Each structure stands twice: as C-alpha cells, then as structure tokens.
Amino acid sequence: MKRLFALLIGAVIALAALCTAPAAATAATTGFSVSGGRILDANGTEFVPQGINHAHVWYPSQTGSFAAIRAAGANSVRVVISGGRYGTTSAAEVTSVISQCKENQLVCILENHDTTGYGEDAAAGTLAAAAQYWTSVKQALIGQEKYVMINLGNEPFGNAGYQNWTSATISAIQTLRTAGLTHMLIADAPNWGQDWSFTMRDNAATVAAADGNTVFSVHMYGVFDTAAEVRAYIDSFRSRGLPLMVGEFGIDHSDGNPDEATIMSYTRSTGIGMLGWSWSGNSGGVEYLDMANGFNASSLTPWGERFINGADGLKARSPQVASVFGTGGGTGGGTAPNGYPYCVSAASDPDGDGWGWENSRSCVVRASGGTAPNGYPYCVSAASDPDGDGWGWENSRSCVVR
C-alpha cells in the first residue's frame, strides 16, 4: 500500500501470448510449494491465501489484530514489516509475529515495505537491499517454512525504472536461496503493484523459470476498475499455469474506483488468493481502506462489512486453514484455533482455567461457556460452527468451539 499513489493509467489489459511456464530447479523446501500454478502446503494440500493485510510496523502494539483477523474468517495475514525505512523489524520481533500468526492458525505472509515505489519515491529502497534484510533475520525464518511465505518487497517499483523489475526480482530471489531460505517467495508487481505496464505479466514466466517456488502478486486499485480488466489479468496467469494472488485491493482509491465485486467473485471462482487492504490504521486521506475503526473488531467500517460479511467475502468463502495446523474434533485431540493442541482429558486442567498439561506441553480443554485464551468467548454449542473451522457465531459475535 503506497502513501502516494500513481495517477490512473487508462490502459486496457490485453492477454499476453500464451505459453507454458517451464519447470525450474528450486531449493528443496519443507514448506509451501507451487504445482501447476497452485499453492500446496507442506502436506501437499492445496492452499488458497484469503485474508487481510495488517500494518504491524506502524502499530506493533496492536497484537490483538491477529486474533481479530482470524475471527473474521481469514486463513492468512499479510504483515507489514521493515528493514530500516520505517524502523528495523528485528529477528526477535519477526519471531514474535510468526508466533502470533501460528497461535491463530494464520499463514504468515511477511512483506518488506521498504521498496514501495522505488525509482519514483526517493525514500524507497531496492529489492537488493530488501533481500539483504531477509538474510539478516534468517534465524527467525528458517524452520518456519510450513507457516511463512516471504513477500520480497512491497510494490518494488513505482512508475520509473520498472523495466528492471525482472532482473532485480531474480537477483533478490537468488540472494535468499543462497542464504538457505527455501520458503515460498512472493514477488510483487511494479507500477506501485498494479502492473499497468504488464511488466510482471509478460516476464513472470522468466522469473518462474529461475525459481519454481515463487508466486506473483498484483495489487488491484484504480487500474482495475472494470470486470474485463480484472478477469483478463487473472486469466493471463491461469492460462499459462503461473501462480498468482491479489495481494492488495480496496473498495475505493485516489487513483480510481477498483471493481472489488469482480475481484472478490473472480478470485473465489478461480481459486486465486486474495488479501484486502487493510485491517486498520490507514491515514493520509485513505482512511476509508480501514476495515475496523480504531482496530476495534466490533466496529467494522463499510469496507470491513463488505469484505468480511458481504457477497464473496470471508464469511461466505469460509477459507480452509492450512492443513499443517490440523483440525479439532471429538472430545479431545486435534488443534485449537490458537495453535495449541486440544487436551485428550479434561482432568489435565485441575484448576479449571481452560488450560491443561499433556505430553510435556500446554493444551486447551474443551468445554462450554467461559473465555478462550485468545480473549474470545467459548461457544455454548458446537452447532454454532457449521463449517467446522473452530469458530462459531453466538450472541452477535464470534466464539471459539472446543
């Protein structure tokens, strides 16, 4: 999400010449992988990222946002961090962010915001510098491949110098691979993420040939103000077997009115990942992009209501969590929404606080009523959770089924 947005480019998207992305040799990973243009999790189960962006770097104290985003129905969260432009997110803080994602069964998409608008914004950093940041915090990343995707750099070029996107992206990928980072990588488009020049669209196959575990991310704002443009761009990747997600989009924008209805419906029907911008904290005239007023999950904005509760929104989609988090069920065993295992026996919780101790670690005791460790009430009835994702709806708010 850029602070100053480029002018709307009145370009009509045309399909690129069809071709099949060649297979690429990529470092072996124990985490997410690409197969046939689709994302697979570590268990080989297809995973479609569907979630919300969270501006962590500017609001590091808003840790409750992770549980709130999960309660909204998301299975992933794109987290804004920084390698220096907005203060440096340390390895310890990266570890903390990943932990909060995992506690809430959210796949953690970490994005370095330093590169936003490079070539046009003098304060922006290069993809090469972003790659060096990722290697500097690799101790927090290695071992988390099942739960983390690395978004190389947010909107890495503005509307100047974007012709270098392909070579800069490949070079950044190589830096991470050489450092031993085998995670799924996400490459944002240039032109403030909107790729009106079709630079990413037309060169994605080249990047995929260099690294077969990279997903491409387009940000859909004013450039994508018609259904035809949205569908044509998505189809250009699907037809070539190239993995794509819509990493950001909103209900309105300073550069035009994006067609959020088509973005939401078409990503849903085609199985393409999508993450809305953003949970809360926008400023500079784009406050309408907040989904929650003042980080309050009980006070959704019009955009929040649309994205979460509207047609093709998170509640309607009911995204499946990554299979690596496991599932609950029965009277014991499985994994609770906060990432801890359910206790096999309620006797593991002698003080009745909802937490037990089994197999040398904490576990969650299933019960009815009360408050879960993540601050949400426990559901009185398991029938409140018809889709079996561990979250129910009672008394006009989300509750945890256990």
Segment 88-105, tens digit of pLDDT: 999 999 999 999 999 999
Structural tokens at position 235: 């189809």
What is the per-residue pLDDT for 348? 64
Q: How far apart are CA 179 and CA 134, in angstroms?
A: 9
Whole-number pLDDT of residue 8: 32
The answer to whether the beta carbons of residues 294 and 70 sit under 8 Å apart is: no
Is the distance from CB of 318 to CB of 389 less than 8 angstroms?
A: yes
pLDDT at 21 over 50: no
- The bridge status of strand 273-276 relative to strand 148-151 is unpaired
Helix (H, G, I), strand (E, B) or coil at 17: coil
- For residue 254, whether the previous peptide bond is cis, meaning omega lies within 30 degrees of 0, is no
In this prediction, residues 372-392 reach a mean pLDDT of: 69
Q: For residue 364, what pLDDT is reported?
A: 75
Is 46 tagged catalytic?
no
pLDDT for the residue numbered 78: 99
Q: Lowest mean pLDDT of 16-30, 242-256, 283-297, name the range.
A: 16-30
Angle among Cα 271, 32, 81 to the nearest 5 degrees reads: 95
Q: Which two tokens stand for residue 302?
A: 């019009």
Return the pLDDT at 367: 45
Residue 361 host element (H or E): strand 361-364
pTM value? 0.78
Phi and psi of 260, rounded to 5°? -65, -30
Q: Annotate 312-321 with b (16+ C-beta within 10 A) or e (fewer).
A: bbbeebebbb
DSSP 297-334: TTSB-HHHIIIIISTTSHHHH-PPPPGGG----TTS-S
Rounded CA-CA distance 277/245 in Å is 13
pLDDT of residue 351: 79
For residue 152, the model assigns a pLDDT of 98
Q: If we measure between CA atoms, which residue out of 334, 366, 326 comes closest to residue 42?
A: 326
Four-point Cα dihedral 207, 213, 215, 216, nearest 10? -10
Average pLDDT, the chain: 87
Which segments of 46-198 does DSSP mark as H helices, in order?
64-71, 91-103, 127-136, 138-141, 165-178
Among the listed residues 103, 120, 155, 260, the single catalytic one is 155
What is the pLDDT at residue 365? 67
- Residue-wise pLDDT for 267-314, tens only, equals 999 999 999 999 999 999 999 999 999 999 999 999 999 999 999 999
Residue 400 confidence class, pLDDT cut points 50, 70, 90: confident
| Each residue's pLDDT tens digit, 119-144 | 999 999 999 999 999 999 999 999 99
Q: What is the spatial distance between Cα 32 and Cα 216, in angstroms, rounded to a whole number? A: 14
State how far the Cα of 80 lies from the Cα of 60, in Å rounded to an integer: 10
Say what percent of the chain tops pLDDT 90: 73
Distance CA 227, CA 224 (A): 8
Classify strands 87-88 and 107-112 as parallel, antiparallel or unpaired: unpaired
Least confident interval from 27-41, 153-167, 281-295, 317-331: 317-331
CA pair distance 6, 15, nearest whole angstrom: 23
Exactly one of 103, 120, 145, 248 is catalytic; name it.
248
**155 annotated active-site:** yes
CA distance 400 to 386: 13
* pLDDT greater than 70 at residue 6: no
Over range 352-371, report the average pLDDT. 66
Q: SS3 of 217, please?
A: strand
Is the pLDDT at 17 greater than 70? The verdict is no
Task: Write down the pLDDT at residue 239.
Answer: 97
Given pLDDT bands bounded at 50, 70 and 90, which one contains residue 22? very low
* CA 152 from centroid of its chain's CA atoms: 13
Q: CA-CA distance, 275 to 278, in Å (whole number)? A: 8
Q: How far apart are CA 169 and CA 310, in angstroms?
A: 36
- Tokens of residue 232, six digits: 């044509």
